[in-house]
Every structure is written in C-alpha cells, then in structure tokens.
Structure 1
Amino acid sequence: FDELDGRENARDLLRWYAHLLHQLDRPEESLAAVRQTLDLMDGTREQLLDTVDWLIEHETYVLVSELATRYPNQFGEFAMLQYRLAEAQMKQGDAEAAKQTVAKARAMKAEEPTEHIAMAVSLQERGLFEWAEGEYRLVIDNFPAASYYVLQSRFLMASMLHDLQRDNEAADMLEVALQTMDVDRNLQQMMELRTGMRVVNARAQMNYYRAEHLARQTEWEKVRENLTKAIEANPDDVDVVIAMYRVPNATDEWKADAMRRIQSAVNGFRAQIATIEPIQQRAPNPEVGRQLALLYNNLAWLIGNTTGDYAEAVRLSHKSLELVPDTAGYLDTLGRCYYAKGDYANAVKYQAQAVRLDPHTQQIRRQLDLFEKALAGKSSEAK
C-alpha cells in the first residue's frame, strides 16, 4: 500500500511539474516529465485507463500510442483502451489508423452484446457518436431482432439520434422495435419489466420524433397529426405538450387544447409537490429529495418552455438544484427559465455550467448557443 501510495504521489508531482513546464512554453521538457510518469505504472486496466484519460485530456496524444506499445496485451484485450487509442489517433489527425483501431475494438467479444451496448453508451458519453452508432448497429445487425439486447440497442440509439437531431432515423429505430413487440405480448412485458419503460411512452416518443423531423421541414399539418398520435399514446409527455404549444399558425381549437393540457400538467405537478414537500420537510430523505427535485425541475421546464410565471419557474429550478446540486439536466432547465424570463446573462451563466458538466449532450449545447445569441443581440441593442 505504501509503495502504491508513493508511486501515485510521485506521478501527481510529475504531472504538476509537466503542467508548469507547459505553461512556461517548454513543451519538450513537459512531454519528458509526463513520459516519466509512465515508468511508475504497474499496467492494471484501471490504471491504464486513468492514465490514458489524463493524457487525452491534456492533449498528450503521442504518449497514448507509446502506452499501447508498452502494454500490448492489455490494449489487445480491453476494447475501451483500443477506443481510447483510436481517439488519440483521430485527434492527431491519423484517421486511417483510428479506423483500423476501431475495427479491432469492435471485433472484441463479438458474442457478448452487453459488452457492445456498454461500449456504445461510454462512447456516446464522450461525444464519439459515430463509433457509438457502430456499436449499437453491431448488436442490432448480429443478434435476434426479438432479443432484449437488440430492442435495448434500438431504444438507446433512438435517444442518441434524437439528440443529434436525426429525428426521422430515431423514429424509424423505435418503429421497428414497437412492431417487433406488437407481435409478441410477452416480449413487451419483458421489456417493460427489465427497463421500466412503458410501451405506450415509446410509441409517443416515436411520433414526437417524427413530428420534430417534420417541423424542420415546415410540414405543419403532418406535425399536428404526429403530435396528436403522440399525446393520445401518452397524455403525460411534457415534451409533446411543449411541442403542441409551439406549433405556429395553429387553429384556435389546437391552441385551446394545448393550453388545457399545459394547465392539466401544471396542476398534476403541483398536486404531487404538495404531497411530497411536507414529507421531505418533516424528515429529510435523499430518495424523497430526489423525487421532489425531479418534480420541481419538470414543472419549471414546462413553464419555462410554454407560458406562466417565469419567476416562479426560476425559483422552482433553483430548489431542484438545492436538493440535487451540480446536475446538468437541472442546470439546463434553469438556463431555459432565465431565458424565458428575459434574463439572458443568467441564462448563459447557468447553461454554460450545464455544458461543462455534460459537454456532449447536443440539446444542452444548442440551448447555450441560443442564449448566447440572445445575450449578444441584447448587448448590441444597448450600445
């Protein structure tokens, strides 16, 4: 233990020294100091992954290749290390080497779908969407269509495609999954049991994704058709209600229906908050606190994206973050609420925090872009 502790202290000291040299514009000496840290390793997977992540974060890509040469067995057996090597190669501009390394990683544990799904999720979290898609498709293309693994891959990939604004593909992905489950009621029950997902919610999502795609094509009649199907499948889907509210040039009947649904959802959230809030106040409990934070967030998100008391939405959003601090999704909501209120400076401030916590969720980044443009426009008007 003492020897390990001593090695880690020496490594941290060398990393600090390398950072100092880098700041002094002495890159060769900085690289040499980092290279010395590699001699302190014992080659465990966890240690290698930690080191590779540090090297990539600090843009010392050449040393990732050196590590792969030093530890060929570990890199040859652990797909995540192969993908990190490919990431370093890509960032060095060697696309062909990265492509070959990805092929090696993808070929590992070909008979274990859970490994490939976990890898896809990990790659997605790092913003490596093309490689994540490759892992999802590997499972979808090579295992039985009615298996849990393929259906899970379809649901996860659909969510990723939606975030990338590839909504028609996302809808197609869900449509095949739903058709597969429609044939086998037992399969539907198994998916609901294992994932906690309700099939009607997935059906609503499919139609919502289709509507999002059609909205970008400005095909508003088809947008309304798909949103109607979505809300019929799941009347509680807040994102569908928000999309209904935003449909332009809608009939009075459509607008009235959207407002009625907004009010119904608001009342539902308020009723749940009124039930849970006193329980949390009497006997604070982390799990109850998380439930309450989610309700605060959902109500704030609904108001911030539609109509209502935007100052209240800001307060609710802050309350969610008091219960569950440093949560990217809740900061994303807070940014939206400040934007709705017209406070663009705070919208940018909190949205930037959300991006720092979750840099690869594209919806969060898109909101930051929107808020920054609004702030810049307001600043130029003031001049």
Structure 2
Amino acid sequence: MLARLAWLALLVLPLGGVAQERPGAARPVADAEAIAHAQSTAQGDPGYSSHRAYLHYLEARRAEAHGDVAAALVHLRQALVYDESSPDIRFHLARLQFKTHDRARALATLERLNADHPDYAPAHLLYGFVLRTEGRHAEAAVAFARAIEADPEFEEAYLARIGLLAEEGRYEEAEKLANRLAERRPGEGKAFRILAVLAKENGRADWENRFLQRAVELEPSHLPAVLELAVQEERAGRLEEAARLYGRVLVRDPSDPTALLGSARIALRQGDEGSARAFLRQLFGTHPDPVGVRLRTALDLDMAEKPERALEVLEEAKGIAPSDPRIFYFQGLVLERRGDFRAALDAYRRVPANAGSLYPLSRARWANCLSLLGEWEEALRILDLALATSERLLDEEAHVEVLRFVPDVYRRARRSYEAVSRLRKEARRLEGNPTVILALATALQDTGQHGEAIRLLERLVEADSSEAHLYALAVARERAGDPEGAVEVVSRILETNPEDPVALNFVGYVLADHGLRLEEARQMLLRAVELRPDEPAYLDSLGWCELQLGDLAAAEPYLLRAAQMRPEDPEILHHLAELHFRAGRFEEAVATWQKALQLLERDPDLRLAGIIEKRLLHARSRLR
C-alpha cells in the first residue's frame, strides 16, 4: 500500500508532513526578499497575468508549509481574483480542496480546469485520483490516460495508471504500460518495483518475481530490488541464481547483513562449510547488533536444517551477553525443533521472570516439551503458570501466543474437552481474535466436533482470507473426511500463485493420501520438490504418491531421504514402513511401524495410530 501511494504523497502533500487546517492560526510572516523577487520577475512571467496573483500564490505555498491550510486556500482564491485563468493556481486550489476532504469542490474545480486547459497533465492526474477515491475506477483510468497523452514524459501519471491496473489484477496491461515508461526512461526500474510490491500485496508471487526480474534487468544498480530478488530465488530453490544476486549486492556493499546471511545459508545447503563460516564471520564482524544478528542467524540456520551450527552461533552470542534471556529462549527453540526436549527444558528454565513477554512464552514452550515427554500433569501446571503470567503482564499478544499451545498440551494429556471449555471462554473474552479462533477450532476437531470447527473457520475466512486461515479450514475439512473440500480451499491459493510450493504439496498430498487423481497429484508434488528440493515433507509426499501409484522404485529414494532428514516424524515413518511391507521387507516394516507408534504415544494422532496398528498386525502375520 505504501508503494501504491508514494507518488500521490508527493502530489497531495508536496511540502512534507501532513498539514493540518488551522482556521484560527496566525498568518505566517511574509518573506520580504521572496516577495521582492516575485514583484521584479512576475511581469515577465508568462504563467501569471498579474504579479499580485503570483504574490498570493507564494503566500499560499508558505501558509501550507506552516500547516495553515485555511490561509493557503484564502490566498489561492485571492490569486484567482487577479488571474482567474492560471492553471497552476487552479490546480493547487483543487489539490487543497481535496486535501481538506472537499471532494465535490475539488472535482468541480478540476473539471473546469481540464475543459479550459486540456493539455495540463497534472490536473488530469489529480482528477483521476479524486475519482479513484470515489470508487469511479473506469473514469479514473480515462483521466490517467489523458494525463499521459497530455505529457508522455509524466512519470506519476504512468505510475497511477499502472497501480490501478494492478489493483484490478490486470497485470499484463500494467506490464505493457510499465515497459512504455521504461522506453522513455532508460535505466529506471521504478515502475516494475512498484508493480512487484503490489503483486506481493495481492498474493501473486509469480507476477512479483517476474516484475522484480524486469526491475533488476532495467536497473541492476538498485540494490534493494536485487536483494529482494535474491531472497525469492533462494526460497524457490534456485540457489545458483540466488548466490549470484547476493554476490552482486556484496560487491557494492560488503557488509549487507541480508546478503551475507543468505550467502551463508546457500553455502551450507551446498555443503561448503568453509565459505559459510567466512560469510558469517564477515556478518558478525560488521553488524551493529552482535547479539541480535546471531539470534537471527541461528534461527535461519535451524530452519535450513543446520541445528548444530545454529547452536554454535548461539554459544557465540552467549559469550558476548551471557545473561541475555533471548539467547536461552532461542536455544530452547532450536533444541525443541531437533527433538531434544530435555535440553530444551533446561534452556527455557533459564529465561528469568523479569524477561517480559519472553517469560510466559518460554513457560508455554516448557509445557509443550513436558507434554511431549509424557509428563502431562506438570505440563498442564506450567501452562497454567504461563497463561496467568501473560494475563498479569497485560500483554494480550503474549497471552494469545500462549493460548496456541492449549490444544496440543491438553490433547496429549487426553483432556481435549477441557481445552475446548477453556478456549470457548477466551474466545468470548477476546472476541474476533483469529489466533484464539484457530486454537478453539483445533480443540474442537480433537474432540470430534468437526462441524462446529468448520463453521468457525469459514466465518474467519470470510472476514480474512489469509493463507494461514485458508490452510486451517482445509485441514479441518480433510480431518472431517472431505478431501475434495480441502483441495477446493487450497486451490484458491494456487489460482493466484500456481507456483506456491506449500499449496502444491498440500493439494498433492491430500489427493495422494486419499487415492484421488494420482497422476495430477504426482505432477504437483514433482513441482513442489523442484521448487524446494531439501524440504523433507515434500519429499515424503512425493514418495507416498509414487507408492500409491505402485512405483516402489521411484518412491524409495524420496521416502528414505525424508526419513533420514526427519527420523522422528511418525507419518513419514508410516510411509517408509508401507514401502518396506510392499517390497516384502516385513521385518523392516514391523520395526519402522513400532517406532512410529512409540512416537505417537507422546504426541497422539488417533487416526494415524489406528491405521498403523492395523498394518502392523498384518505385517506381523507375514512373519509367522
């Protein structure tokens, strides 16, 4: 939205700051030197028929600069008394009328101005913007086009028309117009950078990437665009191109933290530990926040499946600030993700009570780890402490974040009905809070109340159709036995971004898991793995789909690699055990299913556990 309105801010607020109308304010003192200059030059200025008109115009601009819009309007009307035909004076009068929310007068002033001076491009532009705020988009588009026709070099008019096209989802037309502007302004990629931001706001990652590539092609020296494109290429798994773009940034700015960290991540993913360490040394040696940058780096390394390196970085941070509670909290996060719940507990315990919102958050995660270790009563006690502390801090954001853990901790303690009761009360108290609604919907599903959960989530999606809410609704439909309904929901994301790997994986996996449209599922999952080749969940999905298709040889490398990357994921182990069973490796199948069941004891999934128990009985019968 900021990019969309940046050009307008220059037009409507040309002197900086939001000027407030102050009817009772004293008039600013005239600048004698400026007035004298105006008097000496106005007679020869073809833009003004009277030097008095020019004097009032200058006074108007001065009054606006001092925040006295009312005085500015008076001076502009006085200027028109002496020169009623001046397009500049009439334009600024309309601009201030619009600025003071008098849109009707602004439109009337601009209509007369455009009729008298059809070649005055700024008036057409402002007229278009006023129409746009009135919701009259078709008329606004005509006005923007007329501004371009009146002045083919008028960049703001191009940007206004481009923004309107993008807002309407007409990206191809917007792209053509941006290329027209680029022809007139060689070496400038501003229009495409704005288009990339608008596409991102509208959830169109495909167009965002396309516009960024064009922006970088036109203006390779614009480092923020190069950096954003590098991040996108890395996310899409195009590591060589991402590394090249990060390198281009580092040539110009060797201390850029995003480029250094991105280069380190790529080096690690490519197995180049030496280069990764060199990039991180450069990052840590130049960053003004030595602890903060290490915390961010540790999380990035952990998400890149490099937990050991993440813990090393956190130890370095501890050497700089041994008592910083953020370090212990982040250590807990890394250890918890790695499955080392005892060590995570020790880290979370070290977050002190004076750490603000980190204290209840660390206790919530402490409770989560305890529940995964089977210490359910203690987990519930610690979770109660976290909830009470977050309430006492009057920190609603922290309290809501703690509530996210209620469904899982109570489910593992086999007390999901109590979670429903507790979350219903919180949902009434924090009415409309999406995080609380999501938590309540999860607890309802855990107690088999799928219909109510789906209705809650449908209302949430109606209010805010964010991707997180769409996925929650899709999961609820799938858990209720409606896989096609789940696919329909996530397909909305693919309609706007056909290359979204998360959506591709979700739809492909649901179809494969239910034996539906397997070849279509396979193509989606192949693309997801192509986009994110190191994501174990995607590898597992593709392997499971190949297995469902009966191609054991194709399934095996994907399932083995997924299980190697996530050895304690019971669903991945179930799929691997099924592969062993179908290949006649009954002992491996039994051992793998037994391990999956052991893991499910600490984090129950009744549906999956039921499937595995049946398959395990069948496998054991084959061993006799």
The bucket for the TM-score relative to the shorter chain is 0.5 to 0.7
Q: Quick check: 1:123–1:131 contact (8 Å CA) kept in 2? A: yes
2:330 to 141, 153, 166: 153
Cα distance change, pair 65–114 in 1 and its aligned pair in 2 (3 A): closer
1:363 corresponds to which residue?
537
Alignment match, 1:190: 357
Cα displacement (A) at 1:89: 6.5
Q: Which amino acid aligns with 2:331?
A: R
Q: Secondary structure at the match of 1:139?
A: helix
**For the residues of structure 1 that align with 2:222 and 2:522, how far apart are their CA atoms?**
43
2:221 counterpart SS class: coil
Q: Which residue of 1 aligns with 2:515?
A: 342
Q: TM-score scaled by structure 2?
A: 0.37
Residue 181 of structure 2 is aligned to residue 7 of structure 1: no
1:7 partner letter: G
- What corresponds to 1:317 in structure 2? 486
Give the conservation status (yes or no) of the 8 Å contact 1:269–1:295: no
With over 3 angstroms needed to count, the CA separation of the structure-2 counterparts of 1:227 and 1:140, relative to structure 1, is farther
User: What are the within-5 Å matches in structure 2 for residues 161-200 of structure 1?
Assistant: 162=337, 166-168=338-340, 171-181=341-351, 184=353, 186-187=354-355, 190-191=357-358, 197=361, 199-200=363-364
Cα offsets for 1:223-245 (capped at 9, x unmatched): xx46897799666229976x9xx
Larger radius of gyration: 2
Q: Which has the higher contact order (CA 8 A, sep 6+)?
A: 1
Q: Return closer, same or farther for 1:285/1:98 CA change in 2, 3 Å cut-off.
A: closer
Counterpart position of 1:17: none
Q: 2:221 aligns with which of 42, 47, 71?
A: 42
Cα distance between partner residues in 2 of 1:101 and 1:138: 15
2 CA distance for matches of 1:274 and 1:364? 30
In 2, distance between residues paired with 1:231 and 1:358?
37
The alpha-carbon deviation at position 347 of structure 1 amounts to 4.7
Shift of 1:321: 1.1
The answer to whether the 8 A contact 2:512-2:544 is kept is no
Give yes or no for contact 1:174–1:206 (8 Å, CA) kept in 2: no
CA distance in 2, matches of 1:65, 1:109: 17
CA, structure 1 residues 340+352, in 2 after alignment: closer, same or farther (shift >3 Å)? same
> Map of 1:26-175 to 2, 5 A cutoff?
41-42=220-221, 44=223, 46-47=225-226, 50=229, 57=238, 59=240, 67=248, 70-71=251-252, 74-75=253-254, 77-86=255-264, 96-109=274-287, 111-122=289-300, 132-140=310-318, 142-145=320-323, 147=325, 149-158=326-335, 162=337, 166-168=338-340, 171-175=341-345
Q: Deviations over 1:316-347 (max 9, x none)?
A: 42243155545655554444433432345455
Structure 1 segments unaligned to the other structure (5+ residues): 13-36, 211-224, 244-260, 304-308
TM-score (norm. length: structure 1):
0.54
Deviates more, 1:228-237 or 1:172-181: 228-237
Distance 1:43 1:263, change over 3 A: closer
Corresponding residue for residue 19 of structure 1: none
Aligned equivalents of 1:277, 1:63: Cα separation in 2: 44
Question: Could you tell me the percent identity over the aligned residues?
Answer: 12
Q: 1:265 to 1:365 in 2, by over 3 A?
A: same
Q: Secondary structure in 2 aligned to 1:99?
A: helix
CA distance 1:134–1:335, change in 2 (3 Å)? farther
How does 1:255-266 map onto structure 2 within 5 Å?
A: 265-266=446-447
- In structure 1, the partner of 2:473 is 296
Which one-letter code corresponds to 1:101 in the other structure? Answer: F
Please state how far the C-alpha of 1:103 moved relative to its aligned partner: 2.2
Q: Deviations over 1:6-52 (max 9, x none)?
A: 3267xx9xxxxxxxxxxxxxxxxxxxxxxxx9996436355366469
Judged with a 3 Å threshold, the aligned counterparts in structure 2 of structure 1 residues 97 and 350 are, in CA distance, closer, same or farther, namely closer
Residue 178 of structure 1 deviates from its aligned partner by 3.0
Aligned residues: 295
The root-mean-square deviation of aligned C-alpha atoms, in Å, is: 5.2
> How many angstroms apart in 1 are the aligned matches of 2:262 and 2:230?
11
- Within 2, Cα distance between the matches of 1:99 and 1:127? 16
Contact 1:292 1:320 in 2 (8 A): no
Q: How does 1:267-282 map to 2 (within 5 A)?
A: 267-277=448-458
Amino acid of the residue matched to residue 199 of structure 1? R
Greater helix proportion: 1
Q: Compared with structure 1, are the counterparts of its residues 350 and 199 closer, same or farther at alpha carbon in structure 2 (3 Å cutoff)?
A: farther
Query: Residues 155 and 174 of structure 1 are in contact (CA less than 8 Å); yes or no, is this contact kept in structure 2?
Result: yes
Sort the Cα spacing of 1:266 and 1:372 in 2 relative to 1 into closer, same or farther, 3 A: farther
Unaligned regions of 5+ residues in structure 2, if any? Answer: 1-154, 156-180, 193-215, 384-404, 415-441, 555-581, 583-624
Does the Cα contact within 8 Å between 1:231 and 1:237 map onto a contact in 2?
A: no
Shift of 1:136: 4.2
Are 1:231 and 1:240, in contact at CA under 8 Å, matched by a contact in 2? Answer: no
Report the 3-state secondary structure (helix = DSSP H, G, I; strand = E; otherwise coil) of the residue aligned with 1:6.
Answer: coil
Q: Distance in 2 between matches of 1:88 and 1:295?
A: 31
Change (3 A) 1:286 1:377: same
* Distance across 2 between alignment mates of 1:61 and 1:293: 30
| Residue matched to 1:204 | 368
Amino acid at match of 2:240: E
Q: Which residue of 2 aligns with 1:21?
A: none
> Kindly tell me: are residues 364 and 334 of structure 1, through their superposed partners in 2, closer, same or farther at Cα, counting changes over 3 Å?
same
After superposition, give the CA deviation of every residue in 1:177-219 in whole Å (9 maximum; x if it has no partner).
33224x63x54x62277xxx583454224543x5xxxxxxxxx
Question: How big is the shift at 1:130?
Answer: 6.0
